[in-house]
Structure 1
């Protein structure tokens, strides 16, 4: 992943956009990462990967079984 200072990013924004087409670009201020510039394609892929559930279906199934087994307990606690 490429890195560029915040000042250089401001002064060479067009170049940063071009760099982001190839790989994410870290923007650094005082030696610390403060932002990342991604291409639209990379951002869409990131959003899609975030939306995919990995463990969630198993958790949902366990929760549903728990609610079914302990329904009267949950109802009593809800009162």
Structure 2
């Protein structure tokens, strides 16, 4: 991954944007990673992957809950506020 320090990123932002179209660019500040600049296409792809993983996790949790006898009625009883 290409790497550039924050000062150069600021001074050469146009070139940085062009580089990000080819692949992610790590921006550092004081020698430490401060962020990553990437193309919109790369961002949307990563975002889609994250949502797909979340949906799969929720689906697995729903199946496990159903397999263990969790129904809407049982859930409603558990959530009743008995104060």
Q: Same fold (TM over 0.5)?
A: yes
CA RMSD of aligned residues (A): 2.2
Which runs of 5 or more residues in structure 1 are unaligned?
Answer: none
Q: 1:7 and 2:10 equivalent?
A: no
* Matched pairs, number: 77
Which runs of 5 or more residues in structure 2 are unaligned?
Answer: none
Counterpart residue number, 2:77: 75
Q: TM-score by structure 1 length?
A: 0.81
Match of 1:35, SS? Answer: strand
Q: TM-score by structure 2 length?
A: 0.78
Instruction: Please identify runs of 4+ aligned residues in structure 1 that moved more than 3 A.
Output: none
Deviation at 1:77, TM superposition (A): 6.7
Counting only pairs closer than 5 Å after superposition, residues 1-79 of structure 1 correspond to structure 2 as 1-52=1-52, 53-65=55-67, 66-68=69-71, 71=74, 75=77, 78=80, 79=82
